[in-house]
A and B are shown apart, each in its own frame.
Chain A
Amino acid sequence: MEAFTTHTGRAVPLRRSNVDTDQIIPAHWLKKVTRDGFEDGLFEAWRKDENFILNRPERQGATVLVAGPDFGTGSSREHAVWALQNYGFKAVISSRFADIFRGNSLKNGLLTVVLDQKIVDALWELTEQDPTAEVTVDLETREVRAEGITASFELDENSRWRLLNGLDDISITLQSEADIAAYEAKRPSYKPRTLQI
């Protein structure tokens, strides 16, 4: 995973709530067997409308998505995170994320930042009025900064440490091999098995 320390970029204000993962990446894209090449599928249905905010020339190259509440609801598809990253987003800001989407994002180095809706409103106003306005998402200080706005955000220390260092979860877990083996040794015999080995 790529490390995330701090990022500054222009923003896309997305004034929609309940943006589900079927909107972020429609199901027919999920037939691909890679982690890349999903950028054209991002918000595919909405992008057919030339006035959709992502299509506007002033939003090209923007890297911070500022979304409404309950972003990433629905399917567990990690493809939603890959699509946002493939398109070029580095961070997503919302007042509330769906659990599975949030977990997936943090495992891929896409920083999902939870801020109070009032701050999201302020970011929407700022970036709608001035598309060139830059937003900084600083994981080291756990702050979001933009003109006239400074807001701190929460992220548990363990997730933050993994992101700052770009650590791979599996190698960390494999350091607990002795604990896993000890647990396996005491599992009761009535637990289900898919195969007799």
Chain B
Amino acid sequence: MGRTLAEKVWDDHVVRRAEGEPDLLFIDLHLLHEVTSPQAFDGLRQNGRQVRRLDLTIATEDHNTPTLDIDKPIADPVSRAQLETLRKNCAEFGVRLHPLGDVEQGVVHVVGPQLGLTQPGTTVVCGDSHTSTHGAFGALAFGIGTSQVEHVLATQTLPLARPRTMAITVEGELPEGVTAKDLILAIIAKIGTGGGQGYILEYRGSAIEKLSMEARMTICNMSIEAGARAGMIAPDETTFEYLKGRPHAPEGADWDAAVAYWKTLRTDDDAEFDAEVVINADELSPFVTWGTNPGQGAPLSANVPDPASYEDASERLAAEKALEYMGLDAGQPLRSIKVDTVFVGSCTNGRIEDLRAAADLLKGRKVADGVRMLVVPGSARVGLQAVSEGLDVVFKEAGAEWRHAGCSMCLGMNPDQLAPGERSASTSNRNFEGRQGKGGRTHLVSPQVAAATAVLGRLASPADLSDAPVPAGV
């Protein structure tokens, strides 16, 4: 019987296999950041261990870093201490580090792909659940805890039980104005936050094949929100084109050998998945979340659901609690929800195509009165690219704040946070209670919906902008 993409990559990394034991897998690339690594380095020191493969390890700073005044000392002493700990650890052990202010600094899942380090058929780990992002290249990529970070630093391997595989087949074509973000939010709403638990997802089908690499990264990024540790997309010409010429992409004969191998990384026709979900892309429309987990979402044209409509008691209770936290009424149109803040950025939607999409809609328009909009590039390189295209000027002229690269408002670890009770439309990945700041209320959206929402001050799609007032003289 044939094998799936995930099984092929898995099998190619088995260092040791024995009956009744997890497989010992080799790790090709280990990404580090300041939050989940300090205790791992301490463990190495306590046991007199070294980093086994410095040439397969790279670190950057993202979660704690401010997005303003980055040339000044970090104001929060605890954040500063954590960043200093990473710098000290990287210096002591010899790990390559791209600190705040470095041109290669940025959100770890934006940095790996743009350097060309994320490649098809590799295993990629990081102490961050959104490591699933790298699966867009046909890599087997997953988030790990700090004990596993220490394990990989010391051994470049991980003992793992092989997950089952699930095909998410998306046929058709996304309608205009409907993005990869809308698609993944619709997938999560369909299978639930636990639907992918124990599986590696493979996104496939004609709608997936048409997506750019950046859109594929948005999809794979949120696999974890469906409970799956990893999501993958088979590499193709789009993948090879994206990689060619990047700083760490193979060259010459190595490029040819690599491409020959990468072309084998497709699920065989006679392979069997343990589960399959089919989605029709043609039927999708802009999708937003109304609740406090990423599965609690609906098309923007819908109303806030009535908890009483859920048959499952635990889902009903979850919906009741979510509406209470979010300050929403059952039956209220999603389009009537007013926001205080709009955030464009994160490892989900902080790449150049995302910024271009938001800028396209903001050009000649203004952010609504009383709405704060933050635009945060996923990496310093993405920021430079945006500036070279004049996108920063578009954002600033529209009244948005243009910031430096980092995780920013995706999570409450740096100064960019919601105040209690504040509501945001956010291109990030989690709408958990307090995720963007204590008491903050989050609606997950695409960059296009974020931009339209910023202009109208309420949840909106680009189509709603046709009747929005355009300032005179533009």
Contacts and interface: CB of A to CB of B under 8 A. Distances in A.
Interface string A20-49: 101100111011111100000000010000
A176 interface: yes
B55 A196 contact: yes
A128 interface: no
Question: Chain B contact residues (Cβ within 8 angstroms of A): what range?
Answer: 35 or more
Contacts of B430: 20, 22, 74-75
Nearest to A158: B21
Contact of A31 (B42, B64, B432): B64
Given A17-B318, A176-B15, A190-B255, A108 B412 contact: no
26 contacts: A16-B317, A17-B314, A18-B193, A23-B432, A27-B435, A30-B63, A32-B82, A35-B39, A69-B194, A73-B227, A77-B35, A78-B147, A79-B146, A98-B194, A103-B145, A158-B21, A169-B147, A170-B47, A170-B49, A180-B15, A184-B156, A188-B258, A192-B29, A192-B116, A192-B119, A195-B96
Contact of B317 (A15, A183, A189, A194): A15
A183 B56 CA distance: 14
B384 interface: no
A108 B49 CA distance: 20
B416 to A, nearest CB: 12
A73 B250 contact: no
B165 to A, nearest CB: 14
A154 interface: no
Contacts of B148: 103-104, 107
Contacts of A169: 147, 151, 159
Contacts of A176: 15-16, 24, 157
B132 to A, nearest CB: 10
Given A23-B433, A180-B24, A192-B249, 12 more contacts: A73-B293, A78-B145, A100-B144, A176-B157, A179-B15, A183-B15, A188-B261, A190-B254, A191-B28, A191-B122, A192-B116, A194-B55
B150 interface: yes
B412 A192 contact: no
Given A22-B434, A188-B257, A100 B64 contact: no
Contact of B250 (A23, A158, A190): A190
